[in-house]
């Protein structure tokens, strides 16, 4: 299965605002965004020049602006960049954005070696490029100055399995048990099973091997480890605290919906 950049761009053009609302409508737990932002605040400093690649409508660009970073926003989807302009502007954060560019994570030749203090590649970008992930990681690392950081997250195989058992049983009923076994063995989830773009679901050891070729891994954590509460007894701050603390435990890194890692170049 090969990555199709034009298909990815068209998909997210059509996906539109759903990329922004996924944290509010329950598709992605609210603690996940807080965990991603926690690591931004830990590894990005005021005045840093940051590439936000796969920026979507700008949720993490807004956080980077709050930190005081200068941001180049990049995405393969022109439609998402249009939304980025709207949402980041509405948040009063547009002054932090140097530029918005259409870019494919596999080829970032429009940027120079070591051009950024940090590169942020959150969400599914590396998962979506499937077997081209080594090429993408090499490009991302190339752009980071010596001593800077790459912050990346990918879809988690273990986390996707334990949080979507109903959907897995549905796939087994329609396609057979061996279809589920093949996804677990390879980590490749085709569109006909998930209804999304084809993606690579990672084990932590797989992502660790990809990243450790380029630098020192400074942090690894589960994101989306803890689900939102359904009742009115809201303890979102406590749940976020628990996710950030427990998600960094070595035994928990695989268990979130995303695996997050930081590499020092």
Domains of the chain: 5-155+196-264 (3.40.50.150)
Q: Which two tokens stand for residue 58?
A: 């700008």
Q: How confident is the model at residue 83 (pLDDT cuts 50, 70, 90)?
A: very high
Q: Which of 134, 42, 60, 128 is nearest to 96 (CA)?
A: 60
157 near 163, Cβ under 8 Å?
no
Q: How confident is the model at residue 231 (pLDDT cuts 50, 70, 90)?
A: low
pLDDT in tens, 162-208: 998 999 999 999 999 999 999 999 999 999 987 889 999 999 999 99
Residue 1: predicted pLDDT: 80
At residue 232, does pLDDT exceed 70? Answer: no
pLDDT in tens, 35-78: 999 999 999 999 999 999 999 999 999 999 999 999 999 999 99
Helix (H, G, I), strand (E, B) or coil at 154: strand
Residue 125: predicted pLDDT: 97
DSSP H helices in 68-213 = 78-90, 125-128, 133-142, 157-163, 165-175, 177-186, 191-194, 204-212
In angstroms, the first-to-last Cα distance of the chain is 31
At residue 233, does pLDDT exceed 60? Answer: no
| Averaged pLDDT for residues 234-243 | 87
Averaged pLDDT score across all residues of the chain = 94
């Amino acid at each position: 299965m090969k990555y199709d950049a034009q298909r990815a761009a068209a998909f997210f053009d059509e996906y539109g605002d759903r990329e922004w609302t996924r944290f509010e409508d329950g598709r992605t737990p609210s603690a996940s965004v807080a965990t991603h932002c926690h690591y931004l605040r830990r590894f990005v400093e005021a005045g840093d020049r940051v590439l936000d690649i796969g920026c979507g409508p700008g949720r993490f660009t807004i956080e980077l602006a709050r930190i005081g970073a200068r941001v180049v926003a990049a995405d393969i989807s022109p439609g998402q960049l249009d939304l980025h302009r709207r949402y980041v502007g509405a948040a009063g954060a547009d002054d932090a954005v140097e530029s918005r560019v259409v870019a494919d994570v596999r080829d970032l030749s429009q940027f120079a070696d070591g051009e950024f203090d940090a590169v942020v590649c959150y969400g599914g970008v590396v998962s979506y490029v499937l077997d081209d992930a080594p090429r993408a990681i090499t490009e991302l690392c190339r752009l980071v100055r010596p001593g800077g950081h790459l912050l990346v997250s990918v879809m988690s195989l273990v986390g996707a399995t334990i949080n979507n058992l109903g959907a897995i049983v549905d796939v087994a009923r329609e396609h057979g048990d061996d279809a589920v076994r093949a996804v677990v063995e390879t980590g490749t989830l085709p569109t006909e099973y998930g209804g999304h773009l084809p993606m690579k679901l990672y084990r932590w050891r797989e992502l660790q091997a990809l990243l450790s070729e380029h630098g020192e891994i400074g942090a690894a954590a589960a994101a989306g480890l803890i689900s939102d509460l359904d009742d009115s007894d809201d303890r979102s701050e406590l749940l976020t605290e628990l996710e950030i603390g427990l998600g960094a435990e070595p035994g928990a890194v695989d268990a979130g919906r995303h695996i997050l890692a930081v590499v020092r170049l």
